[in-house]
Amino acid sequence: MEVTAKAKFIRMSPRKVRLVVDLIRGMDVVPAMAQLKFMHKSAARPVMKLVASAMANAEHNFKLPSGALYIKAITVDGGPVLKRWRARAFGRAAGIHKRSSHISVVLSERKLEGAPKTGLAEAVVKTVKKAAAKKPAAKKGVKNA
């Protein structure tokens, strides 16, 4: 089951928000929230609110426990840019681009390790077990010196 949440028009540069988002991508939700809580980046606060909103969506709408969730995907896209200008010397003007971000997160349920394995992963496990089971035969008649 996948749960999504979006935050739009966040008045922060997407480049700065991606610094925070890249650290928590793929993490379990509870450790990710702890990581965001103690992060010294201003972008951590809206990202933390968004992940909390996605957790609440999962619990309320789908009755999923927060301990079983992980961040499957989290993306930051550019929003609209507010164009301003600042007066400079000799009658010139310098442009200022105030960027905004759209953040979207997808939470998914972590598969338990006791779940049955299927397909290629099962074949790889069998091959590894066979290779580990074979032991080299000891040579006859050779004594340790």
Residue 38 lies in a domain: yes
Residue 140 lies in a domain: no
Query: Cα–Cα–Cα angle for 20, 21, 26, nearest 5°?
Result: 130
Residue 46 lies in a domain: yes
Residue 128 lies in a domain: no
Residue 37 lies in a domain: yes
Residue 137 lies in a domain: no
Residue 103 lies in a domain: yes
pLDDT in tens, 60-94: 999 999 899 999 999 999 999 999 999 999 999 99
DSSP state of 91: G
Predicted pLDDT at 139: 66
pLDDT in tens, 2-28: 999 999 999 999 999 999 999 999 999
Domain that holds residue 38: 2-111
pLDDT in tens, 127-142: 555 556 666 666 666 6
Predicted pLDDT at 8: 98
pLDDT in tens, 88-122: 999 999 999 999 999 999 999 987 676 555 444 45
CATH number of the domain to which 77 belongs: 3.90.470.10
Residue 61 lies in a domain: yes
Give the confidence band of 124 by pLDDT, cuts at 50, 70, 90.
very low
Predicted pLDDT at 1: 86
Predicted pLDDT at 110: 87
Take residue 29 and report the two structure tokens written for it: 């939700």
Please state the domain count of the chain: 1
- Token look-up 């032991």 returns 135
- Amino acid identity of residue 76, one-letter, is V
